[in-house]
Amino acid sequence: MKTLLWFRRDLRLTDNPALARALEDGEVIPVYIHAPEEEGDWAPGGASLWWLHHSLAALGEDLRARGVDLVIRQGASLETLQALIRETGAQQVLWNRLYEPALIARDTGIKQQLRDQGIRTQSFNAALLFEPWTVAKQDGTPYKVFTPFWKACLGLGVPVDVTPAPERIQGPAQLPPGETLKSLGLLPDIDWAAGFTELWQPGEAGALARLAEFMDEAVADYDEMRNRPDRDGSSRLSPYLHFGEIGPRQAAAACQVAKDRHGGKAAHQGIDSFLREIGWREFAHHLLYHFPRTSDEPLDPRFRKLPWRELDEETLRAWQRGRTGIPLVDAAMRALWATGWMHNRVRMIVASLLTKNLGAHWLTGARWFWDTLVDADLAGNTLGWQWTAGCGADAAPYFRVFNPVLQGERFDPNGDYLRQWVPELAKLPAKYIHRPWEAPEAILKAAGVRLGGNYPRPIVDLAESRRQALEMWEVIKGTK
């Protein structure tokens, strides 16, 4: 039988159940269809498209090395699949499932249409350890709190079976014509993403290399180091997981191997803690599936009436480009712009500043992240922003306003992260680097810092804005 294997965000050959089934059934025609408008309001942003370009290039090479080319097309998915069926005589279409509301609706429709015309279709789970409908509370309702959710998942048993990548893939004698990757126009016009290549190697080989490196070098200390933006202490697997260049079963299997290899309680704690973060990714998908409106609306209805502030262009720009005068926030926002990624600890801090101290709607930040993160993921981003803004599931309470100065002194104690991303402050001693406005004039001068000159004064009074945010909390508490 001839199969159209429809690649989406499962851009890998290892542990790819749709591919494994297609191989069992005969000839495989691997296809990627670029149809961003089908993702509705949350079509991939600039950084994601950059990643996608390189990931498709890598997938194309991996397939070619196994004997078949990737056919790239653009246009409406259903019509493109139908055209490919006509051109190739394929009898079935296989794919791995996605869970965003717009894509579930699209894929359900496509499945029905193809079946109605006599084409076999089947979808598989490549992206999650536990699909959202398989985990529920005793009363059948979805979890809204992470700890019991993860406990229930662990009770079900974390899957660790991984299918190896095939050595050869049998394609048809002739493939249908495709478009070039370049013709999709995924790369940005301006070379803003030039720095991304230093940090990232999109594609399955890059994902596997990063997983191996993290498991060898960092996972044992993960529990302690995961909060430190100044260290390479987290896995940085998020974009690879988002694009399915690696799957969570592979991460879980690697954890099991690492446990056997690393003795010691601390190492095991690190491994469990890393797996728990993969659990947060599961939880994010669980929430978005069961509460599909939360990509745009707060889960906690009390927040619908909150009078979020409309930021003026200049203030928003200062936050976006790291010119707030609050060093840790500026470092994080500049790192995001330069590398397409931001450490989790500082994601929470910049999000707290935007939503609490500046009072802006969380979607203002979510949209910026969406365009600039290489790991922009509707489930993860929605959870992260709603959690920090206090309006989501298992959220940080609204009255928790992160203090970027204290957080900086705790998690970047020597100021190394700041020195890397805010070179204007690099010569300040650690004592003042997170609070330059308190440094004596002579120290500022010796370090070449001119507040309001080569480095801005804070755009917001942290203490006063915190007080205002707490007042807002009183309003929210009283709202039903």
**Site residues (vs ligand FAD, CB under 6 A):** 226, 234-238, 241-242, 277-278, 280-281, 284, 344, 347-348, 351, 369, 373, 375-377, 380-381, 383-385, 388
- 280 classed as catalytic: yes
61, 213, 308, 437: the catalytic one is 308
Residue closest to 276 by CA, chosen among 297, 255, 299 = 255
Q: What are phi and psi of 315, to 5 degrees?
A: -70, -45
Return the bridge partners of 309, or none.
360
Q: What are phi and psi of 392, to 5 degrees?
A: -105, -165
- 385 classed as catalytic: yes
Shortest distance, CB of residue 344 to ligand FAD, whole angstroms? 3
131, 297, 344, 437: the catalytic one is 344
Name which of 389 and 433 has its Cβ closer to ligand FAD: 389
What are the Cα distances from residue 208, in Å, to 125, 215, 244, 246, 423?
Answer: 20, 10, 12, 7, 33
Question: Strand, helix or coil at 42?
Answer: helix
Name which of 295 and 381 has its Cβ closer to ligand FAD: 381
Residue closest to 404 by CA, chosen among 391, 418, 390, 384 = 418
Name which of 76 and 311 has its Cβ closer to ligand FAD: 311
Shortest distance, CB of residue 82 to ligand FAD, whole angstroms? 33
39, 277, 297, 437: the catalytic one is 277
Shortest distance, CB of residue 416 to ligand FAD, whole angstroms? 18
Name which of 238 and 407 has its Cβ closer to ligand FAD: 238
- 362 classed as catalytic: yes
Name which of 6 and 200 has its Cβ closer to ligand FAD: 200
Name which of 31 and 288 has its Cβ closer to ligand FAD: 288
Shortest distance, CB of residue 28 to ligand FAD, whole angstroms? 29
CA 194-198-201 angle, 5° bins: 105
Residue closest to 255 by CA, chosen among 287, 212, 201, 191 = 212
280, 297, 403, 437: the catalytic one is 280
42, 337, 341, 385: the catalytic one is 385
Shortest distance, CB of residue 361 to ligand FAD, whole angstroms? 13
> Which residue number has the CB closest to ligand FAD?
384
Residue type present at position 13: L
Return the bridge partners of 95, or none.
6, 123
Q: What is the DSSP string of 171-239?
A: --SSPPP---SGGG--S-SSGGGGGHHHH---SHHHHHHHHHHHHHHTGGGHHHHTT-TTTT-S---HH
- 95 classed as catalytic: no
Radius of gyration of the chain (CA): 24
8 Å CB contact between 209 and 14: no
Shortest distance, CB of residue 260 to ligand FAD, whole angstroms? 20
Catalytic residues: 277, 280, 308, 344, 362, 385
